[in-house]
Amino acid sequence: MLKNKEKRFGEILNELKNIALLTRKYISSVIVYTIMAVLSVVFGLLSSLVTQSLIDFVTKSNAQNNLLQFDSIKAAVAAVAAFSVFKILFSALNSRVAEKIRIRINTEMTADTFDRFICSEWQYTSDYASGDILNRFNSDVSTVAASVIGIVPTAFTKFFQFVAVFFIILYYDPVMALISLISVPLSLLCSRFLVKQMHMYAKDLKKINSKMMTFNSDALLNMQYLKSFGLVTVFCSRLRKIQGEYIKLTLDYNKFSIVVTSVISFVTQIVTYACFGWGVFRLWTGAISFGTLVLFIQLYSMLSGSFGAIVGIVPTLINSVAASERVSEIRNLPADESLDDTEISAFFEKNRNSQLELSFENVSFRYKEETENALTDVSFSCKTGDFVALTGPSGEGKTTMLRLMLSLIHPTEGECRITDTVSGDYINVAPATRKFFSYVPQKNTMFRDTLAANMRMVKEDATDEEIIAALKAACAYNFVIKEKDGINCMVGDGGTGFSEGQIQRLSIARALLRNAPIILLDEATSALDVDTEQQVLKNLSEWGENKICIFTTHRPSVFEVCNKAYLVTDSECVSVM
């Protein structure tokens, strides 16, 4: 048990270090913010001291020297007003500075986290649901960003206020200063208990939030299918079940917080009455003035408020730690292994139009956490002008081979190479070699944007004429031209507005527009009718005359345009043509 507590505490400290590293980049802004917050506290204290002097002056004055009294009162009132205005001004400026810092950290950290995650190895990123990732990008990053400006400066400011107020009270009345500290030990004890429980609740709440966001995201993206299969009621019930889990967890945490807060508030209230009673007693005995009693009341309010704020930072701190853990988890995923991109770019520019060979040399691969190889000792090669079919039962390794070619995954053993057959120069496949490939995946990959924008994702400077030529080659222009805005028509979420067969043809057109030397088509004609498929394949054979085209397929018609075929089964790849 002790080891687990130490481990948990060590994890919390580690995440606090991560948050501190983020703060370091903005240290100058945070220092300015903290100084302004401290000045706001100083002006508040000065206002209380001047108010005490004003009350004492008024209650002790006599009817003589009315003009002098009036001038002194005016000066005191002016000072109180000035200090109050300065306090309001600095508080307002502080809020503005804090928001600027928070927005900068939030946007920069979100962008950096997005960059790191999207540049991580595909095999690791695929473990996370889209809703969970969105929750981490948005909610968790925002929580961490807010903590950078909300925890350390607030803790420092409130601690400064606590110490300053305590010593002022100590100066006026040591006994009251000691009475005011009675609640501190209990509050610290409760906070220690709160840290452990709060960390658990914070992590669980974030998990259930991610679960709910993932569920909503999946349901919205697949609404057509839910309606088609009559699953609307089922999914509505599932949502309420997840909400029930969220409600129960939230209320459990709320009950826990209420109990802890009530105990602290009860003790604080007792101490407040004790301080007030002691002050009244001192006033009754003539030991202090009425103005000093008012000052004591103000100061104790500040003292308990600042200490309460310090204790209140604990839940915020733990919530930030839980958020930081989740953000760090996806920021620290293994990055894509990459060769020198300059070297690969030079090879690409020199050899993109040369006679290339794509080869596997004794490649084996096993997915993480799997006990058996997806591919074992696979050797495979194809050259410019080859049309290659990879066939075999589903789930036997065809798509895995494409992923290896695209360096989404990396061989456990062996090498994947791209070779210039004329010079003999070669490079090993890596993330930076993806510029050699065009890819048509099995799944729908259209984004909510114009059709032209979807096409230009693979070639930003593509002209309308080039887009139309690619659409014609993929037998897609005949239905695109019927759209009101032609190639500038809108594509809905997940390709809404087009059929599966039309989406496949648009994906093929986009791959052709990229004009890469190697084209990978993963079941790219599975949704096409026979006549359309034959025309698409005919056009591909003409378009890809000087390219390598690799199909994964179960369709006999694809074999008609291929000069090579491999059977992928039982983790092996065997030539059958």
Amino acid at position 28, single letter:
S
Instruction: Please say if the pLDDT value at position 63 is more than 50.
Output: no
Ordered by start, the domain boundaries in the chain are: 11-331, 341-575
Among 191-200, 386-395, 523-532, the least confident range:
191-200
> What does the pLDDT read at residue 390?
92
443: region left, alpha or beta (phi > 0 left; psi from -120 to 50 alpha): beta
Averaged over 127-142, what is the pLDDT? 85
Q: How far apart are CA 545 and CA 91, in angstroms?
A: 70
Give, to the nearest 10 degrees, the angle between helix 27-60 and helix 152-172: 30
Which fold would CATH assign to domain 11-331? ABC transporter transmembrane region fold (1.20.1560)
Give φ, ψ of 241 to 5 degrees: -65, -45
Look up the CATH number of domain 341-575: 3.40.50.300
C-alpha 323/C-alpha 460 separation (Å) is 37
First to last CA, the chain: 64
What's the rounded Cα separation, in Å, for the pair 184 and 182?
Answer: 6
Q: What is the mean pLDDT of residues 343-358?
A: 85
pLDDT in tens, 288-330: 777 777 777 777 777 777 776 776 677 777 778 888 888 888 8
Calculate the average pLDDT of the chain.
Answer: 81
pLDDT at 519 over 90: yes
- For the beta carbon of residue 62, count every other beta carbon within 10 angstroms: 7
In the numeric block, which tokens belong to residue 36? 């302004």
Q: What is the mean pLDDT of residues 546-572?
A: 88
Single out the residue of 564, 534, 570, 538 nearest to residue 551, CA to CA.
564
If one counts every other C-beta atom within 10 angstroms of the C-beta of residue 180, the result is: 25
Q: Is the pLDDT of residue 7 over 50?
A: no
In the predicted model, is pLDDT for residue 65 greater than 70?
Answer: no
Same fold, 11-331 and 341-575: no
Considering the entire predicted model, what is its pTM? Answer: 0.75
Per-residue pLDDT at 560: 84
Residue range 537-558: mean pLDDT, rounded: 85
CB 22 within 8 A of CB 148: yes
- Residue 17 pLDDT > 80, yes or no? no
d(CA 471, CA 282): 91
Q: What angle do CA 454, 502, 550 make, to 5 degrees?
A: 80
> Which pLDDT value is given to residue 32?
80
* Contacts (Cβ under 8 Å, ≥6 apart) of 15: 320, 321, 324, 325, 328
pLDDT at 395: 82
Q: Is the pLDDT of residue 509 over 50?
A: yes
Read off the pLDDT band of 22 (50, 70, 90).
low
- 357 has which bridge partners? 383, 419
- % of the chain with per-residue pLDDT over 70: 88
